[in-house]
Amino acid sequence: MNRLYTQFRLGLEKRVVDLYAVFAVGATGAPTLNAGLSKGIASVARNSSGLYTITLQDAYIDALAVIPTVRLASGTPASRGMIVRSVAVSGATPTVQVLFTDAAGAAVELNDGSVVSLKLELKASSV
């Protein structure tokens, strides 16, 4: 291995920032942000069935990855996957929009009582 990796991260990208958005989902899909586990996240809003907008506290150069984990309270999961609908992390109101989908790819409401954890890997350097 003959590469110069960034200190502490051992990656080729400079200034990668990891943020976590953790929110509980209510009966109507309404999210409740866990502020203690969501440092750097300003808010989470439900736009429509399965579609959520995560607003960041700070702007970044770009989003490298959005990795979901959904924990069910009980039952069979309604959602089979998640797609990133839009990334606008460099503007005055930095946001990431995610959509939870069923097996056919259609938007679906998350189960009542689910807890969503999103890991956002963001780039904080233009180098």
Q: Note the pLDDT of residue 2.
A: 62
Q: Note the pLDDT of residue 64.
A: 96
Q: Where are the domains of the chain?
A: 16-123
- Of 57, 68, 58, 65, which Cα lies nearest the Cα of 124? 58
- Return d(Cα 16, Cα 77) in angstroms, integer: 32
127 pLDDT more than 90:
no
Q: Note the pLDDT of residue 112.
A: 93
- Return d(Cα 118, Cα 20) in angstroms, integer: 6
Q: What is the mean pLDDT of residues 80-107?
A: 95
- Model confidence pLDDT, tens digit, residues 40-92: 999 999 999 999 999 999 999 999 999 999 999 888 888 889 999 999 999 99
Rounded (10°) CA dihedral 63, 97, 58, 23: -110
- Of 100, 69, 103, which Cα lies nearest the Cα of 85? 100
Q: Note the pLDDT of residue 21.
A: 98
What are the structure tokens assigned to 122, written together?
């963001």
Q: Note the pLDDT of residue 100.
A: 96
Q: Note the pLDDT of residue 3.
A: 67
- Model confidence pLDDT, tens digit, residues 2-39: 667 666 777 889 899 999 999 999 989 999 999 999 99
